[in-house]
Structure 1
């Protein structure tokens, strides 16, 4: 991994660690945004649009079709386990995140609530601690916007390695053509999580090396891909 990528990952790690600490102290991270930004009609409209892009959106579960006995990977898991109850899916939940504070918080949540999971792991998505062909289904939502295209290729290759043949994956990238794109980029910059731009075409060309795209939803500020592993 080159130095620039390492520095970017460290920025993202620190930003999410900071967010966790803010929530622990009862501080809303959004409260630090400039008043004119967070109270603007455009920003409120953006937040409404972005809600349909999240990990809990029903289209993800519909596509992944979790079944009992399946292993389900949430790559870049954030606080999804606590927020969305993925342990209630019939599949077995595994979470990976780059933020030590997030993983610690989710482990505490699972322990305190008696939630059964396969595991919660501190790792970046280009190098995950799992055997080949370990997972049946996976998602990686709200992750790749922080990554350079070479890192994206490494992450997709890693997902291909740990997913079984014909496994299903839901993932997303920013939609630069959407009217709220610039607002999203500004928000992330305010939160200390700068985006790294790459084109939709270059992403799709890279993804084709590992996955077959079955469906795309580009109606929102994040483009969502529903893909299947093509390895033999």
Structure 2
């Protein structure tokens, strides 16, 4: 059983024209062999896009394979286009899951009409490799006073067995119980909270292994993102 705090100040970052990305795990040139992932979660990026420049802000078309790619928009709107023919505007309060399967190309750029865009994107390893790529977009339940399933469970389908993304928007003083699952990644996207004596500020994360059921109490207006993994079988890491 373990609980480890990863402060925002410990995260590496990448900067391109119109984009700043903060990485929770080893990513691209920011290689860290001690921080390659957490169970099936191999990427957890926090992107801020400024569409005021002369070029689209974000990620031009690029390939992926063998990944489940989950995007949660916190602010503004993101335009998703992929080689399977999908093109959607993903606004705050909507979630998308792109199953890359054997291979797909896609682009993600800020919608200029919506101004600045901030989104958190997670990459997970699929339970079954290969197959045809797929895409699903949905309106998430309003995560007002408790954790609600956005992806996995009763939320959007994902090809990683036992994985769930839960989100809550909490007022100061509101407490929620984390799922009773063996492994969880708890991220304070905004605000501040207390996880049974561990202070979380915006951008901080806690990784729990064998520590399900703990309580999180908001100390400011807080948006909390929790990846919970309930599958104990070998291969979760």
Q: Could you state the TM-score of these two structures normalised by the residue count of structure 1?
A: 0.29
> Which has a greater percent of strand?
2
Q: Could you state the TM-score of these two structures normalised by the residue count of structure 2?
A: 0.28
